[in-house]
Amino acid sequence: MIDNSSIRDRHNRLWKIANYATFAGLIYFALYYLTAFRFDVIFTDPPRQVDFTLWRFAPTYILEHARYPAVVTGDWEHAVFPYLPSAAVMMLPLSWPPPPVAFGMWLLIEASAFALVLWTALRLSGAMHLQARWLIAIAAVLLSENSLGWDFCNHNTNIIYPALVMVGIQTRRTWLGALLLALSINLKLYSGLFPIVLAWRREYALAAATCVLTVLIAVLLPAVVFGPSVFPQLAADWITQIRYSIASQSGHTASLIRSVATLLAVDPGAVLSTVTLRTVQAAWLVLIACYYVVAARRQPAQAIHYDQARLADICVALIAPLPLSVWFIPYHAFVMLPAYMLLLSVAIVEEWPKWLRATSAGACIAGLIVRFAIPSWNYRGAMFLISFVILLSALGTIRRVLTLRQTNT
């Protein structure tokens, strides 16, 4: 006679072992890309700390000179700091401790942000209650490895602002969610679309509170720390750097303009390149509009798949600004991670229609194929744009199914 309880216990133990091993793999992944296990030099060798050296230098320079460094020194190659004055204030505490201690703090911030993105994405995607939750997490991480690993190696802020967004939409307290979203917007303008998306979702209180706190942080924080008389000059310096970034966009090898220029066999600054780029970006905006107008629809809070629908909307909002950015570099595409987690969660749960599960799995596989099928750096921007379109299509399909389910009920 077969002992079903014994088989079930063994099955559960195997899943526990698999999850523990996968969790250990995630820790190894983070440590490998954050430190390369070079603990003998990572805390003392500034070149290995890459962008972190700018986070320590620029805010202190702004505090001492009341100007952005690139504007004063003319070093537009190494000293550009395209962050709001409020972001400089947020990074200022990194200059207080000794360099090794400050960098250790930054590593902890990066690792914590990574953990928060995984945790919130697991909860919102519905995968937290699945036995395969950590397998889903590591699969999504591997699908995003190129961008995520790049961000970890460069010690940039690209993992921090999505973490603020994900926790902000997860919390039930409106004021706390608005504060986290406002901090994310001030840290990186890529989050600036969220008040619009929240208003579209009829989350009016959260959208309004986010707008108010965003403005207050952007104005009051630098005015208090740097001085109210200094703030207008800092704002002007920041605008100067943004203008420089727009004018020099052709210099970024992985940018979309480089892909367009290479495909057309013309100079990135040529009129044909610019016109084609704007056409592609306009088409991208049309796709985004189609998602929110046609595929998606606000669901009532009591809807069965409310969290999945909300996560899909947030993922699209995270991806939407990237093809429009003049600063687009592969590590910005890290925001595909929560989208992959949602697609993988849909792909393995039997309650979803088989065709939708196949579509979700197919989108993940297609993204992987595109990643390796287009190895040239000159086409890297186009490769990510194709990946974004694939993800947008899959997320739109999921949202359309949820919209139809809500209408039928």
pLDDT in tens, 354-375: 999 999 999 999 999 998 998 8
Type of residue at 20: Y
What does the pLDDT average to over 283-298? 86
Give the closest residue to 151 by CA, choosing from 28, 326, 29, 330.
330
Task: Write out the two tokens for 293.
Answer: 């107008």
Distance of alpha carbon 318 from its chain centroid, rounded? 6
How many C-beta atoms surround the C-beta of residue 50 within 10 A?
Answer: 12
pLDDT digits (tens, 9 = 90+) for 149-178: 989 999 998 999 999 999 999 998 999 999
Sign of the C-alpha dihedral computed for residues 101, 105, 107 and 108 taken in this order: positive
Asked if pLDDT for residue 1 goes beyond 70, the answer is no
Of the candidates 317, 300, 318, the one whose C-alpha atom is nearest the C-alpha of residue 403 is 300
> In the structure encoding, which two tokens stand for residue 253, read together?
């090898």
Q: How far apart are CA 360 and CA 214, in angstroms?
A: 35
For residues 258 and 254, give the distance between their C-alpha atoms in angstroms, rounded to a whole number: 7
- Report yes or no: 144 and 137 within 8 Å, Cβ to Cβ: no
Grade residue 74 by pLDDT with cuts at 50, 70 and 90.
Answer: confident
Going 288 to 185 to 71 to 231, the CA torsion angle's sign is: positive
Q: pLDDT tens digits, residue range 94-144? A: 999 999 999 999 999 999 999 999 999 999 998 888 888 999 999 999 999
* 93 exposure class (CB count in 10 Å sphere: 0-12, 13-18, 19+): exposed
Whole-angstrom Cα distance, residue 249 to residue 75? 17
Please tell me the distance from the alpha carbon of residue 407 to that of residue 409, in angstroms, as a whole number.
5
The alpha carbon torsion through 313, 318, 319, 323 (nearest 10 deg) reads: 130
Cα distances from 184 to residues 54, 90, 166, 198, in angstroms, run: 19, 11, 10, 15
The answer to whether residue 258 scores a pLDDT higher than 90 is no
Residues ≥6 apart with Cβ < 8 Å to 294: 396, 400
Residue 316, classified by CB atoms within 10 Å of its CB into exposed (0-12), middle (13-18) or buried (19+), is buried
In angstroms, the CA 333 to CA 323 distance is 10
Contact 136, 341 (CB under 8 A): yes
Q: d(Cα 377, Cα 256) in Å, to the nearest integer?
A: 11
H/E/C letters for each residue in 142-160? HHCHHHHHHHHHHCCCCCH
Type of residue at 32: Y
**How confident is the model at residue 393, as a pLDDT?**
95
Contacts 24+ apart (CB under 8 A), 219-227: 219/86, 221/85, 221/86, 221/89, 221/90, 221/186, 222/84, 222/85, 222/86, 222/88, 222/89, 225/63, 225/89, 225/92, 226/62, 226/63, 226/66, 226/85, 226/89, 227/66
Mean per-residue pLDDT of the chain: 89
Q: How confident is the model at residue 79 (pLDDT cuts 50, 70, 90)?
A: confident
Task: State residue 225 phi and psi, 5-degree precision.
Answer: -80, -45
Task: Give the DSSP letter string of 341-392.
Answer: HHHHHHHH-TTS-HHHHHHHHHHHHHHHHHHHH---GGGHHHHHHHHHHHHH
Residue matched to tokens 């991208």: 284
Helix (H) or strand (E) run with residue 384 in it: helix 380-408
Cα dist from 138 to 115, 242, 263, 272, 391, whole Å? 12, 36, 34, 42, 18
- What global pTM score does this model have? 0.92
**What is the mean pLDDT of the segment spanning 168-194?**
94
State yes or no: pLDDT of 297 exceeds 70: no
